[in-house]
């Protein structure tokens, strides 16, 4: 089982972000806006900050915020410099987290970002990256504290996801909110206490469902 206290001490707290690669396409305007979902399966709030190797090329809504325990937030990333000179360049975002109210970085996760002329093109990693802070942008206080926050208004066509997709998402959210194995403070029966691996699977599936809903 995941040793939470040890990882807090050594600064290697696992960070769960989906997806791990952002692909933008020059010929597809709808792809110029992507969503990163940050999950917090832990029992304490996490403060997060988004850095980027080339911040001038991107706009990130609420690049800093807080994720409540067993919740998740969506961070919207826009590519603002779509041109042929930027195609094939592999940039990176870094999501670093700390315990709320503390400065020490507990963990980090890198996400690749690449602009391609069209789908199906591959790129190779580039040189060692240097990360920079992004310009601060906010849509209001405490918006990151919601159970599953959409930090940007998304225009969707008429019609929504199927009932199966919605039910799958709800099951995953319930799973993430259930107590963890070894949680002696819970009044719920032991047989519905989930392991860390089960919660991670639920978080991953919820990320897939979220991406599916956003592209419907």
- Domain at 4-155: CATH code: 2.60.40.10
Task: Give the strand pairing for 71-79 and 148-150.
Answer: parallel
Least-confidence region, from 23-37, 82-96, 136-150, 181-195 = 136-150
Is the pTM here over 0.75, yes or no? no
Each residue's pLDDT tens digit, 195-208? 777 878 888 787 77
Each residue's pLDDT tens digit, 58-113? 999 889 999 999 999 999 999 999 999 999 999 999 999 998 778 899 999 999 99
Average pLDDT, the chain: 78
Q: Where are the domains of the chain?
A: 4-155, 156-216
């Amino acid at each position: 089982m995941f040793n939470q206290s040890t990882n807090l001490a050594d600064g290697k707290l696992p960070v769960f972000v989906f997806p791990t690669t952002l692909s933008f396409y020059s010929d597809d305007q709808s792809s110029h806006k992507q969503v990163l979902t940050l999950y917090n399966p832990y029992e304490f709030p996490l403060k997060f900050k988004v850095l980027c190797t080339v911040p001038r090329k991107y706009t990130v809504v609420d690049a800093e915020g807080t994720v409540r325990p067993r919740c998740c937030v969506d961070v919207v990333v826009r590519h603002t410099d779509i041109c042929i000179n930027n195609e094939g360049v592999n940039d990176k975002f870094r999501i670093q987290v700390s315990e709320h109210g503390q400065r020490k970085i507990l963990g980090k996760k890198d996400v690749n970002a690449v602009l391609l002329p069209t789908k199906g093109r591959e790129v190779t990693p580039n040189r060692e990256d240097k990360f920079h802070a992004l310009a601060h942008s906010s849509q209001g206080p405490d918006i990151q504290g919601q159970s599953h926050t959409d930090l940007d208004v998304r225009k969707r066509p008429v019609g929504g996801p199927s009932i199966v997709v919605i039910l799958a998402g709800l099951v995953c959210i319930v799973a993430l909110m259930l107590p963890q194995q070894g949680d002696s403070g819970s009044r719920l029966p032991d047989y519905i206490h989930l392991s860390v691996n089960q919660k991670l699977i639920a978080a991953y599936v919820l990320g897939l469902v979220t991406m599916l809903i956003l592209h419907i």
